[in-house]
Amino acid sequence: MKYIEDDLKGKTILITGGAGFIGSNLAFYFQHNHPFAKVVVLDSFRSGETFSNGNLKSFGHFKNLIGFSGEIISGDINDKDLLLDLEINYKFDYIFHEAAISDTTAQEQDLMIKTNVNAYKDLLELALRHDANMIYASSAATYGNAKSPQIVGREAPQNVYGFSKLSMDNISREYIKSSDISIVGLRYFNVYGRGEYFKNTTASMVLQFGHQLLAGKNPKLFEDSDKILRDFIYIEDVIQANIKAMHPSESGIYNVGTGKARSFQDIVDILQKELGTTLECQYIPNPFIGSYQFHTQADISTTKEALCYNPEYEMEDAIKDYASEIKRLYEEEVK
């Protein structure tokens, strides 16, 4: 689906984290809809390096870019020599900044701040020197346990990841005051869809439940899962928001969700219908009561106004669209 009609022929687009979930979807959006734009993907790609919690430091995977014909650079956004090379040898018109440490359970506060906050400021300076519009990934983690609906300006991050994203937003606000470029931060809620498989255990519960069902395993849900609600947003609507953020009516920080809260029980029920399974759910005690969000719902009123954003996928439609990919991944990657 094409969200912008203006001609991007001859324009150069940088996508950091372009071998990751959202970044790779952006890369293919431009390749399919604006083939005469130059797209440069930057990603650190995965290695064997892990955090102290055992999770990978980078989820970027070459398989997310199979079929992509643009330029690919392997590199770390913390590498100032690399950023200098980008500044000298390219002239970017748009920067989509998706690269980050996105593991909310990572304990390495120093690396989280260096990667998510300090490197972002360096990229903002690059955007200013290139006169490039900046669109970057913020997060609903900035809200912590704030009451629903979550509204920009009412943040209370509960981990260093959420704190780092809020720090990015604060930096952005300062730059917005004095710069001529457009700067838009997109606070993603619970994103799911094609391209997330290589996030491993941090992939959405839509994918994880789907693979449990296909393996013939009874889906395990916390007790009262019909009352645990999240704003789940399909990747297609996230891409819509990013593309419309290229030319906002006003720079700023905006929520990207559906504006509706759905339950984990809904996910399993819809998946069972689309995957043709009838497995009984197993309900287990929730060990995270007291430190667990029971309800998230994005206030998207300002997003609609500034970006002309309008989510197009209900969960039923999204999972129906996603089901064939869930099956393919199970056959090719899981079994």
Unique residue bearing structure tokens 């989280």:
112
Question: What is the model's pLDDT at position 246?
Answer: 97
Taking CA atoms, 250 is separated from 13, 58, 222, 243, 259, in Å, by: 21, 33, 41, 14, 21
Is residue 79, in this structure, part of any structural domain at all? yes
Is residue 108 exposed (0-12), middle (13-18) or buried (19+ Cβ within 10 Å)? middle
* pLDDT-derived band at 287, boundaries 50, 70, 90: confident
Is residue 242, in this structure, part of any structural domain at all? yes
Nearest to 218 by CA among 306, 278, 305, 153: 278
Angle (CA) 56-77-241 rounded to 5° is 85
Q: Which residues are catalytic?
A: 161, 199
Average pLDDT over residues 81-86: 98
Is residue 3, in this structure, part of any structural domain at all? no
Unique residue bearing structure tokens 């300076």:
125
Is residue 49, in this structure, part of any structural domain at all? yes
The 10 Å Cβ neighbour count of residue 197 is 23
Residue 172: which domain range? 12-330
* pLDDT-derived band at 289, boundaries 50, 70, 90: confident
Question: What is the model's pLDDT at position 291?
Answer: 62
* pLDDT-derived band at 105, boundaries 50, 70, 90: confident
Is residue 4, in this structure, part of any structural domain at all? no
Average pLDDT over residues 297-311: 98
List, for residues 245-273, the tens digit of each pLDDT value: 999 999 999 999 999 999 999 999 999 99
Percent of the chain with pLDDT over 70: 98
Q: List the helix and strand counts (H, then E) for the chain.
A: 10, 13
**Contact 111/101 with Cβ under 8 angstroms?**
yes
Q: Which residues, in sequence order, are CB contacts of 154 under 8 Å at separation 6+?
A: 143, 146
Unique residue bearing structure tokens 């199970």:
330
Q: Which helix (H) or strand (E) holds 96?
A: strand 94-97
Report residue 252: phi and psi, to 5°. Answer: 160, -170
Is residue 109, in this structure, part of any structural domain at all? yes
Residue 21 is classified by DSSP as H
* pLDDT-derived band at 104, boundaries 50, 70, 90: confident
List, for residues 24-33, the tens digit of each pLDDT value: 999 999 999 9
Question: What is the model's pLDDT at position 292?
Answer: 64
Question: What is the model's pLDDT at position 113?
Answer: 98
Q: Which residues, in sequence order, are CB contacts of 118 under 8 Å at separation 6+?
A: 78
Terminal-to-terminal C-alpha distance of the chain: 32
Number of domains, the chain: 1
* pLDDT-derived band at 103, boundaries 50, 70, 90: confident
Is residue 335, in this structure, part of any structural domain at all? no
Q: Residue type for 170, please?
A: N
Is residue 315, in this structure, part of any structural domain at all? yes
CATH number at residue 71: 3.40.50.720
